[in-house]
Amino acid sequence: MLALALCAGCKHPTSSAPALKPTASGTAIVLVGGDKQLGSPGSRLSQPLQFQVNDNLGNAVTGAEVEITGPKGVIFDPAQVLTDENGQATFKVRLGGISGRYELTASSRDAHGKPFSLTVAEFAAGYQEQVGYEVNEKYCSRCHDQDSTVTQVSNYDNLAVKPHSFSNGDVYNKITASDLATIITHGGPAINRSALMPPYGWTLNKAETQAVIAYIRLVSDPPYVAPGVVYAKH
């Protein structure tokens, strides 16, 4: 009881980061890198998120303040920073504990105090979306991704009918989950689409097929909204 009473009377000093003192300002924020990464809920993204502040001539600005914000549960290190000698601001990002799409906004102010910003997306994949990503990497990305990687050469340029990237929401958001499952299982001709899309019904089981669809929905740009579902703003 005495210890509790003593602690109750103690006042512990609180520490806070010193206020930043910007020495310059810009008019626009552009993305340098680190957007559209895929991580697991609660994990730190493997690459930092980087932005650049430019003036009205497109030149990088050193010493401009940039703040980054996002949904509840996302942790930034730091949350505010001054642009470096290259006019860039770098943030480490830890995703929230719920799977889904996270929209993060970097903002700054011009010489008159008017704010300007840029919003990018990162993805927290749950178990099903992670399985879909792994299936995509093994079977799908060699045709649906235009860019070759160190471990895999893209086949995109060899195809007469170009496959759509899985992030192309303008295309995939209009296709029902049932039709997507049919295309994956029986090939494109099953619903009068390209014969260059082969059937994977003998390769993937039903759970893997559904996982690919879940992954497509996760990375969709613009975001996928299920028909008949109403989302609250907060």
CATH value at residue 153: 1.10.760.10
Residue 226 structure tokens: 């299920």
Give CA separation, 129 vs 5, 77, 111, 200, in Å. Answer: 51, 26, 44, 18
End-to-end CA distance of the chain: 43
Residue 52's domain comprises 28-124
Of 100, 124, 148, the last residue of a domain is: 124
Of 62, 91, 124, the last residue of a domain is: 124
Examine the domain organization and report whether 110 and 135 are in the same domain.
no
pLDDT in tens, 129-175: 999 999 999 999 999 999 888 778 899 999 999 999 999 999 999 99
Per-residue pLDDT band for 3 (boundaries 50, 70, 90) equals: very low
Examine the domain organization and report whether 131 and 154 are in the same domain.
yes
Per-residue pLDDT band for 231 (boundaries 50, 70, 90) equals: low
Distance CA 173, CA 192 (A): 18
Task: Give me the mean pLDDT over the 169-184 stretch.
Answer: 97
In a domain? residue 1: no
In a domain? residue 183: yes
Based on the structure, what is the number of domains in the chain? Answer: 2
Question: Among 78, 71, 77, 80, which residue's Cα sits nearest to residue 41?
Answer: 71
For the CA atoms of the chain, what is the radius of gyration?
Answer: 23
Distance CA 192, CA 29 (A): 43
Distance CA 55, CA 105 (A): 19
| Residues contacting 2, CB < 8 A, separation 6+ | none
Examine the domain organization and report whether 145 and 208 are in the same domain.
yes
Of 71, 103, 124, the last residue of a domain is: 124
Per-residue pLDDT band for 9 (boundaries 50, 70, 90) equals: very low
Examine the domain organization and report whether 114 and 135 are in the same domain.
no
Distance CA 104, CA 49 (A): 10
Examine the domain organization and report whether 34 and 87 are in the same domain.
yes
Helix H segments across 50-176?
A: 127-135, 141-144, 169-172
pLDDT in tens, 202-227: 999 999 999 999 999 999 999 998 88
Per-residue pLDDT band for 7 (boundaries 50, 70, 90) equals: very low
CATH value at residue 108: 2.60.40.10
